Amino acid sequence: MTEACIFDMDGVLVDNGAHHRAAWQALLDELAERPAEPEYWRLTIGRPAEEAVPLVLGRPVTPVEASQMARRKRDLYFGLVRQGLQAIPGAFAFVEDLSRRGISRAVATSATSFDAERLLVEVGIRRFFSVIVTAEDVRKGKPDPEVYLAAARRLGKPASSCLVFEDSLVGVQAARRAGMRAIGVTTAHSEAELREAGAESAIRNFQRVTWGSLVRR
49 within 8 A of 73, measured Cβ to Cβ: yes
83 Cβ contact partners less than 8 Å away, ≥ 6 residues apart:
none
* Predicted confidence (pLDDT) at residue 212 exceeds the cutoff of 90: no
What pLDDT does 217 receive?
Answer: 53
Total-model pTM: 0.81
CATH code for the domain defined by 17-81:
1.10.150
Length of the chain (residues): 217
Mean pLDDT of the chain: 93
What pLDDT does 38 receive?
Answer: 84
- Tell me the chain's radius of gyration from C-alpha atoms: 17
Least confident of 36-50, 52-66, 94-108, 157-171: 36-50
Q: Can you give the residue ranges of every domain in the chain? A: 4-15+85-215, 17-81
Question: Which strands, in side-by-side order, build the sheet including 4-7?
Answer: 131-133, 104-108, 4-7, 162-166, 181-185, 201-203
CATH code for the domain defined by 4-15+85-215:
3.40.50.1000
Percent of the residues in the chain that have a pLDDT greater than 70, as a whole number: 99
* pLDDT tens figures, 57-115: 999 999 999 999 999 999 998 888 877 788 999 999 999 999 999 999 999 999 999 98
